[in-house]
Structures are given as C-alpha cells and as structure tokens.
A and B are shown apart, each in its own frame.
Chain A
C-alpha cells in the first residue's frame, strides 16, 4: 500500500487556518485549554509534514493492525438486492475489530512526540476505548477512558477488554450516560490535568485540529479502497456509503473520493425510534440545526432554547447529538447526501448480513447496510457500491439479543 505523506487527499484543502470547513468547525474551548489545543495544532503541523512520522504510522498499521484491510465482494447481499455490486471495506478485520485503531495509532505517536505521559479518551461503543487502551498498553502509557453509564451497560464486553488491557474505565452518570456525557467528562479531566495529559478524541469531531487530524489518520481507508477497486474492477465505484456517528469512518472513506465527481457519497445517520420522535433519534444533520458544542460549530440536536438534546440510538457509537464539522460542510454544500436508518432497520440489517455473508457487523455499520440495498438498486446493475464495514458486531450481541427478545442464558 501507498506510504506517501497523506496530508491532502482532495482539492478543497479544508480546514482553513482557523480550523473551519466553510461555516463549521473552529475552536470553542475554555481558555485553560486554549494553549494546549494550539500547541497540539502546532505539533500536528510538524508531524503531518514529517515522512518519518508517517513511516512509523504505516509500519504499525501494517504489522500491528494488519492493514491493508480487504475489499470484499459481498456476493450474496448483492444478489439479495439485485442491483449494483456491493463491496465491503473490511475495517472490522483490523486489530481490535474496528476502524478506530487507525486513529489511535496516529494519535499515540503524536502524544509520544509531545512528551505527554497520560492518555484520556471518551468512548461510546467502546471500540475507541478499546483501541486507545490497546495502543496505551503497547506504548506503556497510563490510560483513563470515560464512558457513559448506559454504554458501560450495553457494551459490557468492551469494558472488560479495556480492563484487561490495563485501562481505567470511568462510568459517567450525568445526562443519559452516553457519548456526549463521556466527552464532557473527558474535557473536564483535561482542563484539570493540563500539564501531562493528552486527550485522544475518537472521532473526526471536536475542536480544531481533531477533525482534520482524525480524518487524516482515517483516510487510509479511502486510499486503500481506491487502489483496491482499481485493481479489482479497473474503475472507481459509483457510490460509497458509511454510517456516521461523529463521522470518522465515513470521512476516512469519503475524503479521497470527494474530487471524483462521478462518485456518489452517502452518509447514514441513526434515526433511533424515528426522525419524527422528539429526542428519539441521533440524526444531527437530518433532524438538527447548527450550533456550538464540544469545541466546534456543527449541526446539533437541540431544543428551542439552545439546550442540547440527548437523542437516542440503539447503537452506542452513533448515539451522539452532534457530527463532525466536515460532514456538516459536505451536507451544506450537497457534495454528500445523508440518509438515515432506524433502530429496527439496523437490527434487521445486522441479522441479514450475519446470515448472508457470514459476517456479524457492528450495529453502527449495520445502519449503513440497511441503506445499501436502495443505493445498489438506484445505481443499478453493472454499478459498484463500496460500504465501510467499520466494525465487527461481537460487542453488540447482548444488545441485539435483548432487542429481538432472545436470551443468552448461561453466557
């Protein structure tokens, strides 16, 4: 796979110097953190232009993570829908079982360079928490992961994995006890421990430079996909599709295709109980409006008075009332389209993929799968669609079992 400096993968070259993607992004943090995030921005500028940095990153991705991940023709799902060929980008085969590790490898190398001695992270599904715990074990740094109390409950296997890896998991009981609340608590830790702590954000959201940096660590997905599809099919896909929580797996796949105007780009938001249910979904683009939270201006679920709503999704990794600012920009400009999937549709897609493809997908990824059939039919026979299979679903079996009314007694 390519090892060139992956700084810029499309023409629009955003964010600008102020961390803006059009009207979105920026740097809205308490003053105590300002010098830290500015310093992080400077360290990132140096690292991203340093070939040695990327050489180490790519070496770890190859030998520790197991990249490149395959691009796999999902033949039975393709037949099932009867439209375009559906390919899965198999991020679930990465070490730790999701795309999250791509970002953690990059950030831990940066934290090391900056001389930080303690890592904190937030997690929803626990995949980013596990990936953070993993790189911290490998690089021998103490790690504290904030996780909403509800998520601790619904992603138990990942809590156990983090503990095994030597990480301290702190359950957060504020709010609904989901990702938003975990992020608040991680920020509070950072404000308190500014002298030694590195905050490893798990998605392409938050304050500048995180949306850019996390994207640049995740574009390995899209770059590999491009090369692989050219090898397999001799042409670009007609569409790419991914689930969007904060937006890191999606932007990682999308970004290298943004200049390829023939490629349709589709993000899938979590519609929970349905977009018409007040506070019952997590679709910030389709069901929210712009505001400021967690360091950036973006689309948010909020009430008439500007209070943030908790939202809902069966998928802990998508259960967040905001979205990364680059997606807000792609939505506003219309370059990408954003559709949505309910809890129920995601559960169906989860089971369907397990049976048809022999792959148990994460509930997050299942949201994208639930919309891939329509897309494949719309593109039509002879076309090609690539779906980001962002993670594996082992972590979700308890949630799914209880949602479909089965018990796992004895487990």
Chain B
C-alpha cells in the first residue's frame, strides 16, 4: 500500500469531482487514547487524509496552538514508538485513509533513516513531512523512504520561485503541500484569490495533486480553497478545538470532530 494508498484516495476523489479534506492532529495530545478516538472520528466525519503530528520539543515553524499541543503531548510522555503503535491501531479500523506523519528532523535522525522508514511502512504510514528537511538535506531520508515505498511530501511556500520549485518537486510522491502564507501555523489567514495562481504553478511543476494549508480557519475559506486546489488542510483550528475542550466534562473529542465534520462537508460540497 503506502504511496498507492495516497494515489487511490486522490483518484477516487477526482472521480467524484471532490477536493480532499485533510485534517491534522498532534499524536498524544493530551494522551494517546484521545488521539485514537480523534483519528477514528476524523475518518468517520469525512477526513480523506489525516496528518498525524509527532511531537518535537522545538517546533520552530509552529504557531502557539500547535506548540502547546506538542508540549501537552511530550508532557504526557509520548514516545515516537507509541506514535507508530497508534498508527497501527488506526490501520486495524481503517485500511484506506492515508496517514501522513508530520514533524521535525531530530526524532527522525535519532531513530536513523532506515529504521524510521521501516517503522512507517510497518505501521501503515503512507507519507512523511519533515518541516526542517529541505531537498538539499533530504537525499539520505528520501532513499530510505523510497526503499520502504513511503512518500516524502514536500512543503512549497510563497517564497518558492520557479527555480526553487523545480528543486522542490524532485523525488516527491503522493501529493505536494502548498503552504499558503509565509508564517508559522495557525496565525495568518490565507487569501484564496492569491493562491489560485500559485496552486496552478505547483500542479504544473509537480504533476501531482496539490493541497493547500496554513491559515484555513473557516468552512467558507476551506470551500474556496477546495474550488482551486486538490485539497484543503486544516490543523490549528482542530487542535485549538481540542485544547478548548480539555477542562470540560464531555469527551475531549466531541468538539474537534464536530468542527472537522463541518469543514469536511464544506470542502466536499464546494464544487457542487
């Protein structure tokens, strides 16, 4: 499966003329049991692809919302082996929804590239995003992931010019992720009009589906993005919904899943 699982998901969506709704949560926030319930619920409420953050102590491209999520996860003692176990558990109940691991380089380095890539394949992870690993430093990791048939997914940003774009799309598989604003996660709002041209440029260069993320906060904005890109990624809004449910008595996942469901619907109905 792995890369094929991503391709199959985009093919199915294309046949239905729908954009992908891509959701993000931080593994282990606030604990692994909740993460499992959230993953299960996300797949049931319309997430086509799920990005599973693995925590890092120094997430330098993250805004406050996801920084705090990483802190909560680490405070709960989350280890990367447990993140893989969580992925396996999800695979037992969902064989089709692609799972993408997202995080930073040092925990990957610490495992070693071959061991990390093998763990991804063994636990049903289909793609990996490593925020602080540009193509210049990615050969070793890409070799290992290729051997395990796991996609290294690239972030492309408003600062990527034509020349850079060519470098960025080399050796990438599955899809590419267009970061619609220069900034950390969850702070600035994306302007849908300005991203249309960029998405087209990236689609042409990569010949892969392009999903857009960073700064999508409302169903309206998600729908706008769904009309111009192959998918819309929502992270901070979900993580924030989770954070706000923490002190309450009701299950932590209720509000997250309700929010995700509304956003998924907006994305799926956008092109009707």
Asked whether A18 lies within 8 Å of B155 as measured between CB atoms, the reply is no
With an 8 A cutoff between CB atoms, is B262 at the interface?
A: no
Asked whether B79 lies within 8 Å of A31 as measured between CB atoms, the reply is no
Asked whether B107 lies within 8 Å of A305 as measured between CB atoms, the reply is yes
B187 to chain A, nearest CB (A): 7
Number of A-B contacts (CB under 8 A): 112
Which chain A residues (306-338) contact chain B, with CB distance < 8 Å? 306-308
With an 8 A cutoff between CB atoms, is A339 at the interface?
A: no
- Neighbouring B residues of A174 by C-beta, 8 Å: 67
- Neighbouring B residues of A30 by C-beta, 8 Å: 60-61, 131-132, 134, 155
B104 to chain A, nearest CB (A): 8
With an 8 A cutoff between CB atoms, is A293 at the interface?
A: yes
A184 CB contact (under 8 Å) in B60, B106, B131, B159: B60
- Neighbouring A residues of B105 by C-beta, 8 Å: 28, 292
- Neighbouring A residues of B79 by C-beta, 8 Å: 305
CA distance A293 to B74 in the complex (A): 17
With an 8 A cutoff between CB atoms, is B179 at the interface?
A: yes
CA distance A34 to B158 in the complex (A): 11
With A32-B157, A175-B57, A307-B56: A194-B110 Cβ-Cβ less than 8 Å? no
Which chain B residues (101-158) contact chain A, with CB distance < 8 Å? 105-111, 131-134, 136-137, 154-158
- Neighbouring B residues of A291 by C-beta, 8 Å: 106, 109-110
- Neighbouring B residues of A34 by C-beta, 8 Å: 134, 136, 159-160, 164
A158 to chain B, nearest CB (A): 24
Asked whether A28 lies within 8 Å of B183 as measured between CB atoms, the reply is no
With an 8 A cutoff between CB atoms, is B182 at the interface?
A: yes
Asked whether B134 lies within 8 Å of A194 as measured between CB atoms, the reply is no
With an 8 A cutoff between CB atoms, is B191 at the interface?
A: no
- Neighbouring A residues of B92 by C-beta, 8 Å: none
With A300-B106, A302-B106: A31-B156 Cβ-Cβ less than 8 Å? yes
Size range of the chain B interface in the assembly: 35 or more
Asked whether B58 lies within 8 Å of A192 as measured between CB atoms, the reply is no
Asked whether A192 lies within 8 Å of B161 as measured between CB atoms, the reply is no
With an 8 A cutoff between CB atoms, is A27 at the interface?
A: yes
Closest to A297 in B: B109
A191 CB contact (under 8 Å) in B67, B108, B154, B184: B184
Complex interface bits, A206-233 against B, C-beta within 8 A gives 1, otherwise 0: 0000000000000000000000000000
- Neighbouring B residues of A295 by C-beta, 8 Å: 132
A171 to chain B, nearest CB (A): 15
Complex interface bits, A1-39 against B, C-beta within 8 A gives 1, otherwise 0: 000000000000000001000000011111111111000
Interface of A is mostly: mixed
B159 CB contact (under 8 Å) in A27, A32, A302: A32
CA distance A2 to B136 in the complex (A): 37
- Neighbouring B residues of A26 by C-beta, 8 Å: 136-137
With A32-B182, A35-B159, A188-B60: A27-B134 Cβ-Cβ less than 8 Å? yes
CA distance A194 to B133 in the complex (A): 19
With A26-B137, A31-B134, A184-B60: A305-B80 Cβ-Cβ less than 8 Å? yes
- Neighbouring A residues of B264 by C-beta, 8 Å: none
Asked whether B80 lies within 8 Å of A306 as measured between CB atoms, the reply is yes
Asked whether B133 lies within 8 Å of A28 as measured between CB atoms, the reply is yes
CA distance A297 to B58 in the complex (A): 15
Asked whether B137 lies within 8 Å of A302 as measured between CB atoms, the reply is no
Asked whether A305 lies within 8 Å of B110 as measured between CB atoms, the reply is yes
With an 8 A cutoff between CB atoms, is A187 at the interface?
A: yes
Which chain B residues (167-194) contact chain A, with CB distance < 8 Å? 168, 179, 182-184, 187-188
B79 to chain A, nearest CB (A): 5
CA distance A27 to B135 in the complex (A): 10
The 8 nearest A-B residue pairs measured at CB: A306-B110, A306-B107, A192-B183, A30-B61, A292-B105, A307-B57, A32-B157, A187-B60
A sample of 26 inter-chain contacts (CB < 8 A) reads A18-B136, A26-B136, A26-B137, A28-B137, A30-B61, A32-B157, A32-B158, A32-B159, A32-B182, A34-B136, A35-B159, A35-B160, A35-B161, A191-B60, A290-B109, A291-B110, A292-B109, A295-B132, A297-B109, A302-B110, A306-B56, A306-B109, A306-B110, A307-B57, A307-B107, A308-B106
